[in-house]
Structure 1
Amino acid sequence: ILEQRRLKLARQFLHVKDVLVKQHQRALRDSTAKRSHIQQTLRLAEKNRNTILQRLVEQCAQEVARCKEVARQQQLKNQEEIDRRRADLERRQRATAARRAKLLTVPKSRIFSNEMTIPPTREEAAVIIQTHWRFRQLSKAIKTYRSFGISVHTIENMSFHDTVGLLQNPAVIQANGKLLQKARKASPLTCGAKKYKNPSRVFLSAYMIVSHTKEILADIGHHERKLLTSAKIMLRELEQWFNEINDEPNKIHVNHLLSFLSAWDTYYNDFNTWKSKDSEKLASNLIAHYVELEKLWNTVKTQANAETEWRMNIVQQQEEIRRKIRNLGGDETISKLERVLRRLKEKLPNESGNETD
């Protein structure tokens, strides 16, 4: 009996020992699998993090290169403008000195004589020829533009769809661009004229604003009323200038030309102000979307596989939004985004602290 009990206890001991060994082996396999999964997740997260950092480094390098190129181009433009003005001033001084030298050789009796005529200097003759040439070019540009029959009265009697089709016609846009260019060159105030961005499209938009106000200006506020007024004044000055040219086609009619160019400058500034207001609104919406994505990441980043399932998608969306924000408002809008993000990061720890309390 004792031997049987001893054998039974031995078998039980071996069974328990075998079970413990199997449990240990199973736990070891599970631990190894978990460790392998964690290491794989960490490697993937590190790879994603390096990819993001590399992309940010490349974007920063491209941005720095772009800023340097813009600064270089601006420096070249400024230097060209300085050289042009210096050459123009020197040319005028030479013309004045030459004319003064000619006057010094003329007897006083001839100076006060009504029959006295002093031939122009070479520089003065060049100015006269250039003025005549610019007048001819301006006349051609006016004739080409007016051949399309565009006026406030005509546009008012057209449907919105037909108006859009007419004003988006490449030939109309080109003709208007030449008209604005030749008008500015024919003006005596060409020196220091500012640069325009998409002048033809901005100018032709005035017809839409005046004739189809409800379709273009949905909400009439201060900027919209100011834009509508300046558009009406500019188109009125243009048509008055055209009417004067009809009456006397051999003259530029400088006073009416200057009035039109002044009204055009005012309208252009008002248009950009109105457009920037809409751009600011759109940029604010994009910033709000960017912040929502940042809050989403702050919520899910503690979850398992957050780096692999969430991080890359959120980063890509934020990069696309950041690019759109930069295109809308430039560095100033990007700075606004950074300020909003700093305030958000300062706020989030406080909120989590309150929840834990």
Structure 2
Amino acid sequence: MESKDKKKKAELAVKKPSRTPHPIGKKLNRNFNTSDIKEKVKSSDMLREERRNKMNENFSRVKERAQELQKIREHQNNLLLKSLELAELNRKQRIEQRRAASKKVVERAKTVVLQNKRRSKEEQERRRAELENRIEKTEARRLAHLNRYKKHKSKDTAAITSSVNSNHTASTMSATTAVVPSTSQESSEPIKKKKPSSWSVIRKLFRELELPSPSSPETWLQFNALSQLLHQPKVIVVTTKVLNTALKLVDNDSHHRARVLLTSYMMLMCPEEILQNLDSEEEKKLHDSAKHMLHLFETWLNAHGRPGATAARLAFVEAWNDYNILFESWKSRDRDQLIENMIAYYVQLSTLRQTMIAHQNGDRSVGDQLQQQLDQIKHKLQKIGGTAALEGLQRALEHVTASTSSGRRKQQENVKPRTPDLEEQSSTSQVNKDQLNDILSGYAPSHLTNLQLAHELILEPDFGLEHYLPNDENELEQRIKEIAERAFFDKIREEIEQGNITTCVPPLVQDIQKRLLSLVRPGTTLYQRIEQGLDLDFIQQQLDQNIFDIQKTIQYVLDTMASMCAPVRDKEIEAARHLDADPVEQIKRIFHLLDNMSLDLANFRLRALRRPLMPIAIDYEREKFAEMLSSGMIPLVKTKGWLNESCERLRQVAAQRNPEKVQQAHSARPTHDAIFEEAFVSLLSQPQILTRDKLPETLFLDVRRMQEFQNEFQANTMVAALLMLARNFGSASSQALSELGVKLFTMLKDKSTTVEHLAAEIERTVGDLRPERRQMIRNMVDKTLSHNDTVYSLLSRRVALVIKSTIQNKQFVSDAVITSNGLEHIRSNLQALTQRILKLVQHHRQVYASWYDTIIHDALADHVE
């Protein structure tokens, strides 16, 4: 029952609705109001908008404040910059004011110094005149007192010696009366004047010469009359004494200086007859200098015995030195031109003499007359130009001899390129081998040994030293040198612009003086003039007194260099003169010019050394090579291999010609000369580039020369092959092929030339071709230039054969041989190459013959075994 009751209750409980949702729903429905929610939402939006506006206002205020701060900072920076600019402007103005004030002080100091000097000189002159006056009065009183003493003594002597014979007494009294006047005569007659000075006498004699006055044109004479007057011996002697007095100098050149001074009269009064072109800058400058110098000379003569005579003399001396430099430069140019003309005339006359002798069948009468004229010209050359002129004549004769066929044959017969008429003079200028090292050491640059220098002098008549220029591998060295030089001259420029020249000028002047003196023989007039013109003590005094004129010193150096340098440097001298607005650049040019002048002098001395070097060059090189062999510096391994290979090649050629292996006589074996010639030509014909590693030890001195020979050998072969190709492709004339050969040689020297360029040149020569033939030409050109090509190999063997034949016969092959080998269009180039090769081969045979013979003998002996 109870379970049933419980079940019923449960059912009732399930059917009864829940109470919980009813109150919540009722509550929500009772309190729900949409207007309150909208107001609250609206107030919340307003609150958020208000906060947003406040944040925007705060951001705007912060931004405005930041902009204000930025403007304040910019304003402060602008004020600072303006302050700095104003300070810099004030500093510059202060510096300029101080500089102007210093300049005024310096100018004032200079004026005071000059005034003091003038007053000092005037005071010295016054005291000198006063002293001379006192000396004259003292001398007069002394003479008067001496006369009175002698008179008194003579009276006592006459009384004591009355016993002496009358004749002796009469003569003594007469002499005493003549020498010692009486007291009454002494009071009535004036005292004798002092004997005039020697300068007064010289000056009087010069006035008596009645030379025209430079400042009075109405006294000037015509050319003939003036020339006769100035050439009188008395005029030259008196002028010499006057000039010696002015210069305070007496030496062996006194008469020469007097003639130079008298020449200035001719130059001033008759310029049309003396100067060639008055419009030229150099001769106009010389004329103005002569006029200025003569006016100062006349002023000095008129200032004798007056204040300022010493200053007038010093001014004349300075003007004289300037004129003398210009005159010597002008005279040297005329002398050089005269020497050049005389040498050309001598060469023409010598050629005419040889031609006349050759065409007169042994009749030498005309030749003897021409020889007398040649001797006279040579004597005049030696008198005008000295040893240098004779050396120039020798070089001209060597050049003419080498350019003629007879001269070439003579050079092939004799290694020494020396003309017969100067053969006898060689003994006086020879040097021994012990002295040669010392001589060459003075000229050999750092990259050339004495042996190399002697070798080049013998094989290259026109050899000359050049400035060492680093190659591409040593570009850093060149850059460092340029930077150091730029820094050096920038430092000098800075010191000069700052007015601080006391530290930089003395070393520069000392270096320039040292270099100039190294170019002049000690003891000469020019040597002394350079020492005096660049007196370091005097320049230091000028620097201490702040009166040194750097531009005047630079012009003096340039004038001196112009009188010393070779004519080829004249343009550089003039270019340096025109840079007077930039003294630092002028100094830089001067140093470069001094380097070039030193090089010119070294080359001149080397050319003079070549003639005495010729007789001993072979022995010198042979002994040097033997010393290197004995010391182990070089072996002969490569030389032995080189000659053995040549011997083997000739043996193989002989074997090919004797396939039956018939026993041949001993004379059929290859000779030493044939083996050497084959070895030498094989070096040139090989396709590999010749280097020091690929050359025998005996050719180490000729690496560069052998490379040039190889390049020219290949160029001749290429041009010959291309000309053969052009001949086969068309019907070009012989002249057109010769012109094409010249063009091809020129094109091969240009590194930018390509196969297309060569083919196009051949097409223009051959003529109008079809497109397919043009393409064929291009292909054939490309193929022909290959070392493996059949045509190239054929022409290479032919060129080698011509060179070998020239070496064997010591003369170039005949035209028939050239034509048969198809080389007639490259004859001139091939002949020039073979002559150079022949000269080198002959030299090597003479130097290294003993070693070559030993190696070849051993190689032939091994072959026989």
TM-score, normalisation: structure 2: 0.23
Aligned residue number for residue 13 of structure 1: none
Distance (whole Å) between structure 1 residues aligned to residue 370 and residue 321 of structure 2: 44
Distance (whole Å) between structure 1 residues aligned to residue 255 and residue 400 of structure 2: 36
Task: Choose which of 314, 327, 334 in structure 2 pairs with 1:278.
Answer: 334
Give yes or no for contact 1:300–1:306 (8 Å, CA) kept in 2. no
Does residue 339 of the first structure (1) align with residue 400 of the second (2)?
A: no
Change (3 A) 1:294 1:170: closer
Aligned residue number for residue 206 of structure 1: 264
Distance (whole Å) between structure 1 residues aligned to residue 220 and residue 357 of structure 2: 57
Aligned residue number for residue 316 of structure 1: 372
Matches within 5 A, 1:1-357: 136-150=197-211, 151-154=213-216, 156-160=218-222, 161-185=224-248, 190=249, 195-220=253-278, 221-245=280-304, 249=305, 253-306=309-362, 308-349=364-405, 357=815
Give yes or no for contact 1:167–1:204 (8 Å, CA) kept in 2. yes
2:345 is matched by which residue type in structure 1? H
1:305 is matched by which residue type in structure 2? N
Give yes or no for contact 2:300–2:316 (8 Å, CA) kept in 1. yes
Change (3 A) 1:159 1:180: closer
2:202 is matched by which residue type in structure 1? A
**How many Å apart are 1:172 and its aligned residue?**
2.7
Give yes or no for contact 2:296–2:316 (8 Å, CA) kept in 1. yes
The count of residues paired between Structure 1 and Structure 2 equals 215
Give yes or no for contact 1:223–1:273 (8 Å, CA) kept in 2. no
Deviation per residue, 1:149-198 (Å, 9 max, x gap)? 4311345543313333433343333221211122233xxxx59x894452
**How many Å apart are 1:269 and its aligned residue?**
3.0
**How many Å apart are 1:257 and its aligned residue?**
0.9
Change (3 A) 1:301 1:168: closer
1:258 is matched by which residue type in structure 2? L
**How many Å apart are 1:199 and its aligned residue?**
2.3
Q: Which one has the bigger helix percentage?
A: 1
Q: Secondary structure at the match of 2:404?
A: helix
2:272 is matched by which residue type in structure 1? K
2:268 is matched by which residue type in structure 1? V
Distance (whole Å) between structure 1 residues aligned to residue 365 and residue 204 of structure 2: 64
Distance (whole Å) between structure 1 residues aligned to residue 228 and residue 390 of structure 2: 36
Aligned residue number for residue 39 of structure 1: none
Change (3 A) 1:297 1:143: closer
Deviation per residue, 1:212-260 (Å, 9 max, x gap)? 2112213233442232122112112112223433xxx156722221221
1:209 is matched by which residue type in structure 2? M
Give yes or no for contact 1:155–1:163 (8 Å, CA) kept in 2. no
Change (3 A) 1:146 1:299: same
Change (3 A) 1:329 1:316: same
Distance (whole Å) between structure 1 residues aligned to residue 236 and residue 296 of structure 2: 20
Which protein is bigger by CA-based radius of gyration? Answer: 2
Q: Secondary structure at the match of 1:218?
A: coil
1:316 is matched by which residue type in structure 2? Q
Distance (whole Å) between structure 2 residues aligned to residue 299 and residue 162 of structure 1: 46
Deviation per residue, 1:102-130 (Å, 9 max, x gap)? xxxxxxxxxxxxxxxxxxxxxxxxxxxxx
Distance (whole Å) between structure 2 residues aligned to residue 313 and residue 163 of structure 1: 38
Change (3 A) 1:194 1:258: farther
Give yes or no for contact 2:236–2:258 (8 Å, CA) kept in 1. yes
Q: Answer with 219-228 or 147-156: which moved more.
A: 147-156
Give yes or no for contact 2:202–2:238 (8 Å, CA) kept in 1. yes
Distance (whole Å) between structure 2 residues aligned to residue 260 and residue 200 of structure 1: 14
Distance (whole Å) between structure 2 residues aligned to residue 155 and residue 177 of structure 1: 24
TM-score, normalisation: structure 1: 0.52
Give yes or no for contact 2:299–2:312 (8 Å, CA) kept in 1. yes
Distance (whole Å) between structure 2 residues aligned to residue 307 and residue 210 of structure 1: 54
Aligned residue number for residue 165 of structure 2: none
Q: Secondary structure at the match of 1:305?
A: coil
Aligned residue number for residue 45 of structure 1: none
Q: Answer with 249-258 or 288-297: which moved more.
A: 249-258
Distance (whole Å) between structure 2 residues aligned to residue 214 and residue 235 of structure 1: 18
Distance (whole Å) between structure 2 residues aligned to residue 212 and residue 260 of structure 1: 22
Distance (whole Å) between structure 1 residues aligned to residue 347 and residue 404 of structure 2: 12
Give yes or no for contact 1:173–1:200 (8 Å, CA) kept in 2. yes
Distance (whole Å) between structure 1 residues aligned to residue 281 and residue 382 of structure 2: 27
Distance (whole Å) between structure 1 residues aligned to residue 242 and residue 203 of structure 2: 6
Q: Answer with 232-241 or 143-152: which moved more.
A: 143-152
Distance (whole Å) between structure 1 residues aligned to residue 282 and residue 296 of structure 2: 21
Q: Which runs of 5+ in 2 are unaligned?
A: 1-195, 409-810, 816-865
Distance (whole Å) between structure 1 residues aligned to residue 334 and residue 401 of structure 2: 28
**Pairwise CA RMSD of aligned residues?**
3.2
Q: Sequence identity, in percent?
A: 29
Deviation per residue, 1:17-59 (Å, 9 max, x gap)? xxxxxxxxxxxxxxxxxxxxxxxxxxxxxxxxxxxxxxxxxxx
Change (3 A) 1:287 1:302: same
1:167 is matched by which residue type in structure 2? L
Q: Which runs of 5+ in 1 are unaligned?
A: 1-134
Change (3 A) 1:240 1:302: closer
Q: Secondary structure at the match of 2:371?
A: helix
Distance (whole Å) between structure 2 residues aligned to residue 297 and residue 289 of structure 1: 12
2:293 is matched by which residue type in structure 1? M
